[in-house]
Structure 1
């Protein structure tokens, strides 16, 4: 970091939030591959001790007192940067600002990471991602890549249409680099789906499910509710089905 990036001391809580345990993080890259989705790369002033699958509370001074949970899309990196995938939801204020307003050079604040239940377990993996639910599952893939142990990993990256697949370059690089990894794009409403598979995320996942798989599902709330109902009925053992624990949408100061 340059001298201008060095904090003069532990930062004051951002605008009355009351949180003294946050870490400032500068936005070093802001890419918007889709109209409502952004990929932000942050450089915290001190290393964020996060593990793949965890969630981190994020604050922007544009909305004093408001925090939102996001899961880093990467395993810890040597340079300490953190990648967030954010979709602007229709009623969201923080998410809309992170997608449409925040720019490189701006400071965000990151709170302490929390476990969500999506930590790595033994065995082969079937990872089922809907939309930006891809982020924590991609981080798990990176964790496996850092110490390959012979397991097989299938990642279903599901969206409604091809244009909703917002991170194809990173996924293609992972696919090309690792022969133990199979990435399956799945489009539910795209008649031009080939060579991707056609169908909703869970339907496609069940085509690839093997009895010994550890199954992780991450995506919109309706998708998670559907997974809780459908997958056990389809033969996925409940002790091998892993969904993120619900997190409060807003964190009081």
Structure 2
């Protein structure tokens, strides 16, 4: 990726909201990032200048131009571990041009959004897009995690749910014995229990979650043209 394609972005906030190796980074790019909710952005840290990784902003465009990224440190992830455990406010990251992922919002149907882990980020951005221009559609956001403490973005989600009566937030806890009966299970199982025939369904999460999602949704009667899963991103060149 040439220098003309990427831009510096200052880390203005670095939060560790839980003990699960997840960080929420707020960045301020040098110039406004022209991104749409659901898109992904290649990110690089000068600590590892030859490695780019894709992350989806968790927000729609903000007046101050900041961008929020949700990053999980994976065991073999050099960049992700650095972003979670080493990067600090004041450092500069590099952002490349945004790219569509297949999670673009369209039509006017109600939405069923199904998130696993940090796959929540682009789906939360879609919620913010609806909030910026309400059109009467109702949104159900199912957020999956193993246990309640792993619901790392719960405070922001609670604020959104309190602010908008068209938004319904549902937790899906796969390994938490304290979970309510209607919240037990993986995110897609809990979501299908609440699905209505008129909804568009968006799913984003780790590869293991996405692997069989389309087949499960088709088997549950969701029309193929109402299923939205993220594309695999190409590898940016450092």
Give the TM-score normalised by the residue count of structure 2.
0.97
C-alpha deviation, 1:19, in angstroms:
3.8
- Counterparts of 1:224 and 1:56, CA distance in 2: 20
* Number of equivalenced pairs: 236
Q: Which residue of 1 aligns with 2:116?
A: 130
Residue 173 of structure 1 aligns to a residue in which SS? helix
Contact 2:12–2:27 (CA under 8 A) maintained in structure 1: yes
Larger radius of gyration: 1
1:167 aligns with 2:153: yes
Q: Among residues 136, 139, 147, which one is paired with 1:150 in the alignment?
A: 136
Q: Among residues 173, 182, 196, which one is paired with 2:168 in the alignment?
A: 182
Q: Among residues 175, 178, 183, which one is paired with 1:192 in the alignment?
A: 178
C-alpha deviation, 1:194, in angstroms:
2.8
Q: Which residue of 1 aligns with 2:66?
A: 81
C-alpha deviation, 1:20, in angstroms:
2.7
**What is the root-mean-square deviation in Å for CA atoms of aligned residues?**
1.1
C-alpha deviation, 1:196, in angstroms:
6.7
C-alpha deviation, 1:64, in angstroms:
1.5
1:116 aligns with 2:101: yes
Q: Deviations over 1:38-82 (max 9, x none)?
A: 000000010000000000000000001110000000000000000
Q: Which residue of 1 aligns with 2:192?
A: 206
- Counterparts of 1:77 and 1:195, CA distance in 2: 37
Q: Among residues 213, 219, 224, which one is paired with 1:238 in the alignment?
A: 224
- Counterparts of 1:56 and 1:234, CA distance in 2: 32
Give the TM-score normalised by the residue count of structure 1.
0.91
Q: Deviations over 1:3-30 (max 9, x none)?
A: xxxxxxxxxxxxxx64431110000000
Contact 2:110–2:198 (CA under 8 A) maintained in structure 1: yes
- Counterparts of 1:239 and 1:50, CA distance in 2: 24
- Counterparts of 1:246 and 1:38, CA distance in 2: 22
C-alpha deviation, 1:204, in angstroms:
0.3
Residue 24 of structure 2 aligns to a residue in which SS? strand
